Amino acid sequence: MMDLNDVAALVTGAGSGMGAVTARMLAERGARVAVLDLDLDRARQTAAAIGGLAVSADVSNGPSVEAALQQVVDELGAPRVAVSCAGIAPAARIVGREGPHKLDLYQQVINVNLVGTFNVLRLASARMATLEPISESGSRGVIVNTASVSAYEGQIGQAAYSSSKGGVVALTLPAARELARFGIRVMTIAPGLIGTPMLLNMPAPVQDSLAGQVPFPQRFGRAEEFAELVLHIIDNEMLNGEVIRLDGAIRMQPT
């Protein structure tokens, strides 16, 4: 179990949903948490509630995350925990009523979800690698990424989203292998349907139909269940280079 007291932790997308709850639960374990989001006001709301540090950055932008991370290092120290929750999920068909999928929309989704995850991973791990080991095995820190079951069973309209999350899945093992020499673990969680604004903003009939597809328990997952898994991953040193589905056994249908 990692002693998180006074350990610095960075959570992206922490102005909302799973990131916000993960930030809170890390703070409850004693971590000094940097709450990173595109929207500074939202980051401030989360940070104020947990005594964290609000930072604003676009995860897909190199200099933006570099500057945010520098602020985190200056104010909290280099993070031993970095959790990527920032993401977007716009739906669009490859050939839709209004013509072919907009290429810039596809690029934007890849940029935020995949390039953004890699950007945080590369910058956070470079900082983590400079820290002293904190376990007998030489552990320096943990990176947790967020993919989606859409990486495996993308639905119609999710070409961009599924591609981006498939990239996050594929990034996990090579990153874990490479960062092993620094004692940095890399894990990914692939959530199914979690009751966050991303889902709860959908029309009620869509939500009911989606929840009905979960074999058991037949409901949306809770952001707390995601955050508990993040904490378990942090605590369990043998978890490395793997993707864990958190999905109540759902296998998404084509539509």
**Active-site residue, from 23, 65, 83, 161:** 161
Q: How many C-beta atoms surround the C-beta of residue 164 within 10 A?
A: 28
Q: Which of 61, 95, 79 is nearest to 2 (CA)?
A: 79
CB of 68 to ligand NAP, least distance (A): 9
Work out whether 41 is an interface residue with ligand NAP (CB under 6 A): no
Work out whether 244 is an interface residue with ligand NAP (CB under 6 A): no
Q: Positive or negative CA dihedral for 224, 123, 40, 171?
A: negative
Q: Kindly write down the DSSP assignment for every residue of 107-145, as one continuous string.
A: HHHIIIIIIHHHHHHHHHHHHHTTSPP-STT---EEEEE
Which string of x and - marks every residue 115-154 that binds ligand NAP (by CB under 6 A)?
-x-----------------------------x-x------
Work out whether 92 is an interface residue with ligand NAP (CB under 6 A): no
**Cβ atoms 12, 39 nearer than 8 A:** no
Q: CB-wise, 4 or 14, nearer to ligand NAP? A: 14
Q: CB-wise, 177 or 251, nearer to ligand NAP? A: 251
| Interface of this chain with ligand NAP, residues 172 to 201, rule: CB under 6 A | 191, 193-194, 196-199
Among 54, 58, 106, 121, binds ligand NAP (CB under 6 A): 58
What DSSP element (H or E) covers 183? Answer: none
Active site residue 152: no
Q: Which of 149, 15, 139 is nearest to 89 (CA)?
A: 149
What strands, in cross-sheet order, belong to the sheet with 184-191?
53-56, 32-37, 8-12, 81-84, 141-146, 184-191, 243-246
Work out whether 17 is an interface residue with ligand NAP (CB under 6 A): yes
Angle at 67 between CA 69 and CA 8, to 5 degrees: 15
Among 7, 18, 115, 151, binds ligand NAP (CB under 6 A): 18
CB of 18 to ligand NAP, least distance (A): 4
Instruction: Compute how many residues bind ligand NAP; rule: CB under 6 A.
Output: 30
Question: Which residues carry out catalysis?
Answer: 161
> Where does this chain bind ligand NAP (CB under 6 A)?
12-13, 15-19, 37-39, 42, 58-60, 85-89, 112, 116, 146, 148, 191, 193-194, 196-199
